[in-house]
Each structure stands twice: as C-alpha cells, then as structure tokens.
Amino acid sequence: MKPFNKKIPAFLSPFMMAGVLVVLLPIFAFMTLDRMERQKEDIGERLLIKGISLIRTFEAGTRTGMLTMRWADRRIQAMLLETAIQPDVAYIMITSRSGEILAHSDGTFVGKMFDAMPDISGVRGDTLLVSHRTRQIDGSAVFEVFKRFTPLSSGFRGRHKPMHGMGMEVREGEPGADRWGKPGGKGHMGWENKMSGMTENYIFAGLSMTRARLAQAQLRKQTLGRGILFFLMGCIGMIGLFSFQAYRSAKASLTSVKAFSDNVVQNMPAGLVTIDQDHRITSMNRAAQEILGQVLEKPFSQMIVLVSEVESSGGPVSREITLKKGTPGELGLDMTASSIMDNEGVVLGFLFLFRDLTQLKELKKEVETTRHLAAIGKLAGGVAHEIRNPLSSIKGFATYFGKRYANNSDDRETAQIMVQEVERINRSITQLLEFAKPMAVDNKEVRLEALISHSLKLVRHDLDKKSIAASVNFKTDKTRFRTDPDRINQILLNLYMNAINAMEEGGKLEVTLVDSPDGSSLEIHVKDNGCGIDKKHIDEVFDPYFTTRPEGTGLGLSIVHRIVENLRGEIRVESDREKGTRFMIRLPATVRGNPQKKDTIEKDTI
C-alpha cells in the first residue's frame, strides 16, 4: 500500500469544496446583486430628490419675482441660466403643452420645439405630481425630472395686484418687459398669461448622470469586492467549521479505535510485549504479565537475539525459547517477533507475541489421555465379555468346592478366597464396561435436598461402620435443577467411597452446595479430612487404573470424570497430605430457586 499523502488535508475534498460553493455562492451572489440594485435605486432617488428640489426652488423664485417685481421672460431666462450653473445640472427648460420651448438655460433653444417631449398625461391633472426618466443626449446619460409648471395659481391673481397698478413703470430691459424686451403692453400681459397657473406649461430639469455613474461604478466595485471578500470569509468559515467537525469526528473515532485496540490487546489470550529501537519496554498486556509472572523492566536476552534475526530477515521470526526467570525454574514460550513500521516503512520498534508452552503440554497430555482412554474403551469392550464367562465357571467351581469341603477349614477358606477374588475381578470388569460403553444422559428436574439425602443413605452403613459424621451445607437459594439423577448418584457414591476409605474412624464428611461465581451454575463440593493425596499424584487421579490402594481398581475417578464431562460440567480436586481432600463439581444445569432467598446455611448430620 502506498503511504498516505500528508500534504493534502483530508477535509479539503472536492465534494466539500463543491458543497461550500453550492451553498454560499447563490447566497452571496443574491446579496451582492440586491445591494447593487439598492445602490442604483438610491442614486436614482437622490437624483429625483435633487431634481424636485431644483424645480421647487425655481418655481418659488419665479413666483416671488412675478408677484413682487413683475418679472418678464428675460428675467426668467436669466434665472434659468443661473440655476443651470449648479453642479450636475445639464439644463432647465419650460415648454408648452405642445412642446414649444418657452424658456431654456441655453437661450439658443428658446422658441424651438422639444422633439423628445414625453407623455405628460400622468402629470397633467395633478400639479404636484412629478415624473422622471433617463435619456441619452450626445452619448451622455441625463436624468430628467419634469412636472407641470405652476408658479402662479388662479388664487394668486385674486390676492396679489399687479405692480404697475400702483404707479410703477416698467422700462425696456427691466423686469416686466415682454418676450422681445418691450415694456408693458400686450407682450407683458402675454408672458404673464403664459407663465401663470392659467396656462398649461411644463418644466424639465435635466441632471447629468456622469458623476452618478462614476459613483455607481465605484460603489459597484466596492460591493463586488466586499461580496467576494465576504464570500471568501464565508467559505473559510464553513471550511473551518467542517474541518473542526471532521477533526472532532476523527478524534472521537481515533479515541474509540484506540480504546477498542487497547481492550483487544489487554484481553487477548496471548502475551504481547513491544520495545522501541533502543530496546526499551514500551507496552505489555495483561496476559504477558500473567505468563511471565512479572512486569518487565527490560527485554530478555533471547528477545534481543530475535530482534537481530528480524532485522536480518526483514520478516517475522517464530521460535520456541526458554526463559530463565528470577525464581528457580525455566519458562518455555512459543514466541513470534516482528517489526512495527509506520506508513513510510520506517521501523519504530518490535512486537513479541508468545504463549506459554505449559498450556500446550497440558493440552497434549489431555489428547494423549483421551487417546489412551479410547484405546482402553475399545479393548474393554472385547475383553470384558471374554473374561466374564470363565469367571462364572471359576466362581461356580469355587462355590462347589466350598460346600464339598465344608468340614475342612483350609479347603473351605481357600474356596471362599477364590469366590471373593472372582467377585472383585467381576466388579473391575463391570466398572471397565461402564467406562467403555457409550454413556446416555437423561436430564430430569430433581430436588437438591432429596438428591443429596438419597446419595448419603446409600452409604449410611459404611459411614456408621467407621463412625463418620456427614453434614450437608446449602449455600444457595436454588432448590431444583435439571440433570441426570442416576449419574449424579453414581458420581457422589464414588466420591463418598473414596472419602470413607481415606478416613480413619471418627472422620468427617462435608457436602456443600454453592452457586458458581457467575450465578448460572451449581457447584457440589465433597470434602473429607482423610489422609489426602500427594502433590505429585494430583494430576493423575483421573487417569484409568491409577490408584494408591492395593484393593482399588483405579477406574472410580475416571468414571466420575467421564460422567461429569458428559454432563458438560467440570471437576477439580484440592488436597493436602494428612489434612484431607476436596472435590469440586460444577454443573451447568438449568436451575430454579425459591421465591425467597435463604439467608442461613441448613445443615443435616447423619
């Protein structure tokens, strides 16, 4: 596998970038376009306000001049010219309804027809209504504001009298002259009629949009720049958010994986030890501590040898090694050593996996025992029947001679010994057949108290013969369970008889029933205070034909072991020389308890 490229952050995937663009780009595009449209509307609104203010101001000035100083067209023309000097004012003009230019900030247009006369129907009926439009003049954009021109209304003429009625004289070239500059007369009255509210005239104010367009372009650039900046900031923010979330998720996953791997390492059945390049212990699991019996501070010399072989071969090395422990004795291990590498192939340390060969030896021993028992079983099945028939004849002749020579004590005793030995041989054959034949299990629901009481009654005579006291201790709240009662009796009888034979007169036999540690099974303990078993013979007590008693057959405990295995249980033995022996049987049976748990121990003494 190729090492992962660390230069490319994992969160900068194409799908994430595409997702960020799909989410943010429409949002910021809409916001930017909306802002630009608002700026455009704002510029138009400011131009409209400026145009309206210009027209209102001009109308107010015209009204004042016409009412107080009897202005004629020349003074209005001059006022238009002065007003048009203001910044961004392209022109101001007054037209008639038909489009004739009555006054213009550029005098050359006076008397001409306004060829771009707009539709005035919207502002015709309302003298306060203002309209606007944008048009091109010589390649330049002009924002044009227009309304009906009403410097005087009909009410003004009723309230204000003409100035010449008060004796004032209007001279040529002075306010009050007509369009051609002649004082008074018809010209004056004609201009007044044309400019008053009685005539239908319209005023137009054209505002240059050059500066507004420049300002709009500048604002557009600023808006686009800010939009792009905000978009980039949003992308960075979202990527940062996704990155933080990915980091948290990766950290949580890493923590979970680390916890899982630590749990696996600590609970694996094989020992695990790791060391670094300097041969220092870096980790050690629980199984390794149990197998080695200590916490390693430094690796064994055999482990350093395996490291050298791993470095030479470039691959794992497996071998059986023997470690010299601090305490007397040696420990045989099946160990595998390998390198620990990073993504770049650099060796970070070494790993050792090992198992205790003692367990393997025990398994091999169990396999050999099983094979041995299987061979004995096959042999027993064929030999037992061949032996029983001659034994019956021998027993018959011995009984016959015992009766025939009843008056001869020596012959009678010899015949009785022959009968006893034949019976002993027959018992051995019976046990051998029992051990060899397939064992059937018939599970039933039994009461524990009745089962134990019945088994003890079967050996009551033997117990009384040696004055042995037997007690039963119930340390469980379970009263019933499913098992084979006949097989349990067979197990208990063998254990009782072994205990009776191991004890002197006045001994003590204890039968205890307790719950298993996990609470799902039941344990039966049979304990005596007899002579005990030597430590060297503990592992051999369940082997066929192993016995320490001259009169024993060596098959009793082998049969017990086989029955327990068929019941899917376990049997263990603990013994101290001259102190006694305890057999512990765990039966994984389905148990049932009393409604109320017992808090005390019940004891029966026989």
CB 186 within 8 A of CB 178: yes
Domain shared by 426 and 519, yes or no:
no
Exposed, middle or buried: residue 96 (CB in 10 Å: 0-12, 13-18, 19+)? middle
- The pLDDT of residue 394 is 83
Q: How far apart are CA 178 and CA 225, in angstroms?
A: 58
Indicate whether 205 belongs to any domain: yes
Phi, then psi, of 119 in degrees rounded to 5:
-75, 115
Residue 339 belongs to a domain with what CATH number? 3.30.450.20
**What is d(CA 232, CA 237) in angstroms, rounded to the nearest whole number?**
8
Of 216, 251, 283, the last residue of a domain is 216
Residue 24 lies in a domain: no
The pLDDT value recorded for residue 392 is: 80
**Residue 546 has what pLDDT?**
72
> Residues near 604 by Cβ (< 8 Å), separated by ≥ 6?
453, 471, 472
What mean pLDDT comes out for the span 185-199? 46
Q: Are residue 380 and residue 448 in the same domain, yes or no?
A: no
C-alpha 532/C-alpha 178 separation (Å) is 153
Q: What pLDDT does 301 receive?
A: 85
User: Mean pLDDT throughout 413-431?
Assistant: 77
The pLDDT tens digits for 431-473 are 666 666 666 677 888 888 888 888 888 888 888 988 999 999 9
- So what's the pLDDT on residue 13? 66
Name the residue among 507, 517, 529, 515 with its Cα closest to residue 474. Answer: 515
pLDDT surpasses 80 at 234: no
Q: Regarding predicted confidence, which is higher, 479 or 381?
A: 479
pLDDT at 187 over 70: no
Compute the average pLDDT of residues 236-260: 81
Last residue of a domain, one of 378, 405, 436: 436
Q: Are residues 466 and 503 in the same domain?
A: yes
Q: For residues 187 and 240, what is the distance between their CA atoms, to the nearest angstrom?
A: 81
Band (pLDDT 50/70/90 cuts) for residue 550 is low
In a domain, 212, yes or no: yes
pLDDT of residue 204: 93
What does the pLDDT read at residue 77? 76
Whether 283 contacts 263, CB under 8 Å: no
Best CA proximity match to 433, nearest among 520, 553, 570: 553
Residue 22 domain flag: no
Q: Which amino acid is at 392?
A: S
Q: What pLDDT sits at residue 179?
A: 38
pLDDT of residue 298: 84
Residue predicted with more confidence, 586 or 212 = 586
pLDDT at 12: 58
**Average pLDDT of span 121-145:** 87
| Number of domains making up the chain | 4
pLDDT above 60 (res 84): yes
Residues 583, 474 share a domain: yes
Decide if 290 is inside a domain.
yes
567 and 432 housed in the same domain: no
CATH number of the domain encompassing residue 601: 3.30.565.10
Last residue of a domain, one of 405, 436, 467: 436
- Sheet of 478-483, strand order: 444-447, 478-483, 591-593
Q: Is residue 8 in a domain?
A: no
Task: Show the domain range for 506.
Answer: 444-605
Question: What is the model's pLDDT at position 174?
Answer: 41
Residue 75: inside a domain: yes
pTM above 0.75, yes or no: no
**Does 330 reside within a domain?**
yes
d(C-alpha 433, C-alpha 439), whole Å: 11
Same domain, 501 and 576: yes
Residues 514 and 372 in one domain: no
Of the candidates 422, 431, 425, 372, the one whose C-alpha atom is nearest the C-alpha of residue 554 is 431
**Among the listed ranges 420-429, 479-488, 489-498, 562-571, which one has the minimum average pLDDT value?**
420-429
Percent of the chain with pLDDT over 90: 5
Residues 321 and 374 placed together within one structural domain of the fold: no
Q: Summarize pLDDT for 301-339 with one digit per residue, the tens.
A: 888 888 888 888 888 988 888 876 654 557 788 889 999
For residue 335 the two structure tokens come to 């160990």
**Residues 455, 315: one domain?**
no
**Strand pairing partners for 574?**
582
Judgement on whether residues 353 and 452 belong to the same structural domain of the protein:
no
Q: Residue 430: which of 474, 373, 461, 387 has the closest Cα? A: 387
Residue 605 pLDDT exceeds 50: no
pLDDT bracket for residue 157 (50, 70, 90) = very low
Please compute the mean of the pLDDT values over residues 525-539 and round it to a whole number.
Answer: 86
Whether residue 451 sits in one domain with residue 429: no
13-29 per-position pLDDT tens digit = 676 667 667 777 777 77
3-state secondary structure at position 39 = helix
Q: Tell whether the model's pLDDT for residue 287 goes beyond 80.
A: yes
pLDDT at 7 over 60: no
Note whether 594 and 461 are same-domain residues: yes
Predicted confidence (pLDDT) at residue 594 exceeds the cutoff of 70 = no
Residue in this structure with the two tokens 């000097």, named with its chain if needed: 85
